[in-house]
Amino acid sequence: MNGWSKIEKTNNIELIQEAWLQGYFAESHYDWNGCTWNRNFTELRSRDLALMCLGDVRSKKVLDVGCGDGTYAFVLSKLGAVVSGQDLGREQIEKANNRRYGPSNELKGKFVRGDARKLLFESNSFDCVLSADFFEHIDLACKREVLKEIYRVLVPGGRLVIKTPNLTYLRLVIAIKRAALILRGKLPDIHIAHTKNNPDNEHHGLTNFGEMKRELEDCFFHTPIFHHQILTRNNLNPKLSALILKLKLKAFSEHLIISTHKSIFVGVSDMLSRD
């Protein structure tokens, strides 16, 4: 099949130079054979939407919080942004620093290793902040500290985009899978992937839109916007997918993609109080 429904598989993931950038993931969270990888175009579509929510980033200074190895920053530089990043992983930051951002590396800001609760950048220094695939790894208390730091480094009116798995959607999917197992006479002993040691507990900070909206507004970010995504699944009728998208049901968007802006008046007032 073509387009977003296209299916690509590989058993030679080591031959793909940028597997994560290209959207390759293990074929299954359960009973995986350890060698078959699928290219997830739905994930790539969600990444596209997150970057599109930043608007025109040409010549803008963009910070990637929880930047990992710099994949998102690398793509943003292809769109003309001047990119910087911060991550706690030593190897990830080393790889991020070894990338080339722009033909002559002229679109590179700085990539630093550090805890996101203390961003190592000056106040009011970025036009935009992106945080993708990071908030699911931190608890609520940590989220609050990170959001305060993001607010600090953004210019007044600066844009923030967050992409993270949608807990409401994941709970719905697990409920459906458990019900299906019960109907087949099996024990529904399954959990959301990457929780409860299934296969790990990396996503202990999964969240929903209501919680994120409250925390963002408490930090003087303007009314956050939830960006709906079309649900694409095997055997799901495209017309049904289109209807679900039209109804704007948050439970049927696989990711939380949220855009918001730092307050202008509060932001300027904060700057004046420090002068």
Render pLDDT for 241-251 as a digit per residue (tens, 0 to 9).
889 899 999 99
Measured distance CA(11)–CA(37) in Å, rounded:
6
**pLDDT for residue 130:** 98
Render pLDDT for 181-230 as a digit per residue (tens, 0 to 9).
899 888 888 899 899 888 789 999 999 999 999 999 999 999 999 999 99
**pLDDT for residue 3:** 83
What type of residue sits at position 131?
S
Choose among 100, 103, 107: nearest CA to 84.
Answer: 107
Q: 85 forms bridges with which residues in the sheet?
A: 64, 111
Measured distance CA(83)–CA(76) in Å, rounded:
7
Domain extents for the chain? 40-166+206-236+255-274
Measured distance CA(264)–CA(177) in Å, rounded:
46
Report residue 275's pLDDT band, with 50, 70 and 90 as the boundaries: low
- CATH superfamily of this structure's domain 40-166+206-236+255-274: Vaccinia Virus protein VP39 (3.40.50.150)
pTM over cut 0.85: yes
